[in-house]
Structure 1
Amino acid sequence: MNKITTNNRLISLDVLRGFVMFWIMSGEHIIHALAKAAPIPVFVWMSSQMHHTDWDGITFYDMIFPVFLFVAGVSMPYSFDKKIKLAGVTEPSELPSNEKKKIYFSMLKRTFILVFLGFVVNGLLRFDGYDQTRFASVLGRIGIAWFFAGLIYLNFDLKKQIVWFTGILIGYYLAMKLIPVPGFGAGDLTAEGSLEGYIDRLFLPGRLHSRVYDPEGIFSTIPAVSTALLGVFLGTFLKAEHPYYTIKNKVVIMTGSAVVLIITGLLWNFDFPINKHLWTSSFVCFVGGFSILFFLFFYVLIDVLGFKKWAFPLVLIGSNSILIYMAAEGLIDFKHTAEYVFGGLIEFSPLVWQPVFTTISVTVIQLILLYFLYRKKWFLKV
């Protein structure tokens, strides 16, 4: 089967990236507005899924960040493929040391840029002072976790990569359960009493997101490497060529892997609760399984069945996902622009529905901007 690609990109990856980013840039606000305008059970339930959990447990919104990191991992085998072929080797671990050094440099550059962009999103350029600046960030965690997953991918074969994946999750679990925190003891998984929170308070500079811990803190970034590695495993599997790997068999294997991960996460949840704030090992497994299922949906629909035109708006979002994330996080006031353009028309609608149409108009403005950038081939590539 010839995969559907644009500029050597797997379209289903851009679509999945666009799907999860849509909820951050404006989709969540549409759902919340719908739930208020028409409080029927389905909209109320969807609105409840557009919030992070207070602590243990999981919602759809908790999955967005790890799915995005997972997608970054899936892209890795594709992005390194050309360098591997030019070097005349079959495995990334077989690359000559001089080639690896070049890749390391480009990876470090990408990581530093993402960390810096994370600072910008957090308000670095407002110059509020060191104590008021939050240094941990979503983009920073993506860059750091992707970097270390890349080091593992480039230096170990698949079996050893799986050992790393498993070792990270078990090691994190044992550390969180067995290493005592002063004043709380060992195994305390509360915000203040957890080892993750304690390490953040000791070593994370500036302002913590939640005073006693940071959801993108230092220690919980370690299991995030395993989230990226799950994506690497899927990307490696998709690229693998073998007579047994027919489309049907690939779909069955991916589905089975997703189910195993979800069950593993649910079973581990009894002793190490699914918790995004701590990025627990059970969280990695549970969300990793759903990440595969989300990808599988778009992969089958777009790459296997060829239904791709409907997904063009998601391609627009996914191909410039970091830019629209930064813009939606406060760099651009899309609501002001939307009200300026569509405000007169919205006033003709019933009062209760005006917030719904306002949030939809924000999405329209965002898509117009993304379409303009897409046509100009202007992409924020990091």
Structure 2
Amino acid sequence: MTNTPINQKESPLSTPPSSSQPTSKRLLSIDALRGFDMLLIAGAGAFLVLLKGKTGIPAIDWIAGQFYHPAWNGFSFYDFIFPLFLFIAGVSLTFSLNKGRNLGMSKPTLYKKTFSRMLVLILLGILYKNSPVPIFEPSQIRYGSVLGRIGIATFVTTLVYLNFDFYKRLGIAMAILVLYYAALFLIPVPGYGAGDLSIEGNLVGWFDRTFMPGILKQEIYDELGLLTQIPALCLTIFGTLAGEILTKAWLDTKKIKQLAIAGVISLTLGLIWDLHFPINKHLWSSSFILLTSGMAFLTLLLFYVVIDVWKIRKWAFFFQVIGLNSLTIYFAFSFINFRFTSEKLFAGLYAPLPEEWHPVFQAFGALLLVWVFLYILYRLKIFVKV
């Protein structure tokens, strides 16, 4: 990436993508960060949870405790995993759309590509959540899914990115979060009234029960339902802001400064907003979106500095192998029993150890098999994309 000084009169971050000749060059830090995030989904989190109470080390027990979702309000590191992926999707989308425009693709063509991708991800999400899908009993299908949420967020964000500059996108995302906040506090829910943020009485749950077809994960609401899609897509819009910073022909020091400022401001606003609109992953509250966006900016900054600025890259290969095939491993966990294979291959090695440790080593073996599987695909240059 070229580090070219910018004109001192240029307003930082205000130049629209179309006039700043953004780069589409892939950054290793983005693939590594995606791989780090997917690793937590693909077994690392479960492995850490199994360590709780076994080592006698308080720090490990605390880390293990971070891989549980709070019952309602509150926050743990586990809540950050999916928002981080939505944010990374926005960062990657910036590079992808820039590449498309550099190749001469028109806006309608790019719209069609991301729309088709959205439909495929929605269908794959339904398959993942319901396999085997009860096709002839649509009322028994859960339609909310991680993949569907990513597909919808990236399509809407494509429309926003290709038509609005940096500050307008920021304004759109903030307006969405404010309107969502107002809706939950001002729109009355039948039987509960307005401003009820309890599990039973909130607007999100009522909206899911009233308008969402099929089954709801939590029965009275679905954390991947209809209404929460609106604030969730702001994470992907914020990701395009980070992506635009990284594509600018700026000195690395300026990129670092801008990412740091964005992260600190977002995180601070999220904590302040929490005083009235609690941080809540189930509701995807506005404070939750800003908190996780701030954390995502800062996490991306860390990976970018270490990998692409300081060029300390050898360690990143482990995560890159996962990040380049994130969809593959997400689906593989639904159809391949890595733990069963781990037990078959490695149980003889850990059999002499205390029985309480057997699940730990079984999970570690499964994690190892996941990486080897992805490494084989990497060496064969097989990368599954949608």
What TM-score, normalized by structure 2, do the two folds share? 0.91
2:26 matches 1:9: yes
Matches within 5 A, 1:1-382: 1-2=1-2, 8-87=25-104, 99-127=106-134, 129-241=137-249, 245-328=250-333, 330-382=334-386
Q: Distance in 2 between matches of 1:306 and 1:260?
A: 27
Q: Distance in 2 between matches of 1:86 and 1:62?
A: 38
Q: Distance in 1 between matches of 2:155 and 2:134?
A: 28
Question: How far has the Cα of 1:272 moved from its partner?
Answer: 0.7
Question: How far has the Cα of 1:172 moved from its partner?
Answer: 0.7
Question: How far has the Cα of 1:318 moved from its partner?
Answer: 0.8
Contact map agreement 2:245 2:259 (CA 8 A) in 1 = no
* Structure 2 unmatched runs, 5+: 4-23
Deviations along 1:141-164, one digit per CA (max 9) or x if unpaired, are 111111111111112222321221
Deviations along 1:57-88, one digit per CA (max 9) or x if unpaired, are 1100000000000000001121011232344x
Question: How far has the Cα of 1:312 moved from its partner?
Answer: 1.3
| Cα RMSD, aligned residues only | 1.6
Moved more, 124-133 or 13-22: 124-133
Question: How far has the Cα of 1:251 moved from its partner?
Answer: 1.2
Q: Distance in 1 between matches of 2:222 and 2:54?
A: 34
Q: What amino acid sits opposite 2:310 in the alignment?
A: L
Deviations along 1:230-279, one digit per CA (max 9) or x if unpaired, are 000010111112xxx32122212211221111110010001111111111
Secondary structure of 2:227's counterpart equals coil
Question: How far has the Cα of 1:191 moved from its partner?
Answer: 2.3
Q: What amino acid sits opposite 1:144 in the alignment?
A: I
Question: How far has the Cα of 1:136 moved from its partner?
Answer: 0.3
* Structure 1 unmatched runs, 5+: 88-94
Q: Which residue of 2 aligns with 1:91?
A: none
Contact map agreement 2:125 2:146 (CA 8 A) in 1 = yes
Contact map agreement 1:37 1:356 (CA 8 A) in 2 = no
Q: Distance in 1 between matches of 2:357 and 2:210?
A: 48
Q: Distance in 1 between matches of 2:40 and 2:99?
A: 33
Q: Distance in 2 between matches of 1:183 and 1:288?
A: 34
Q: Distance in 2 between matches of 1:74 and 1:82?
A: 13
Q: Distance in 2 between matches of 1:363 and 1:86?
A: 39
Contact map agreement 1:124 1:133 (CA 8 A) in 2 = no
Contact map agreement 1:149 1:225 (CA 8 A) in 2 = yes
Q: Distance in 2 between matches of 1:251 and 1:288?
A: 16
Q: Distance in 2 between matches of 1:47 and 1:83?
A: 42
Q: Distance in 2 between matches of 1:25 and 1:36?
A: 22
Deviations along 1:160-181, one digit per CA (max 9) or x if unpaired, are 2122111111111111110111
Question: How far has the Cα of 1:225 moved from its partner?
Answer: 1.5
Q: What amino acid sits opposite 2:121 in the alignment?
A: L
Instruction: Pick the structure with more helix per residue.
Output: 1
Secondary structure of 1:122's counterpart equals helix
Secondary structure of 1:349's counterpart equals coil
Question: How far has the Cα of 1:314 moved from its partner?
Answer: 0.8
Identity of aligned residues (%): 42
Q: Distance in 1 between matches of 2:209 and 2:360?
A: 41
Secondary structure of 2:276's counterpart equals coil
Q: What amino acid sits opposite 1:286 in the alignment?
A: L
Aligned length: 365
Question: How far has the Cα of 1:372 moved from its partner?
Answer: 0.8
Q: Distance in 2 between matches of 1:160 and 1:251?
A: 22
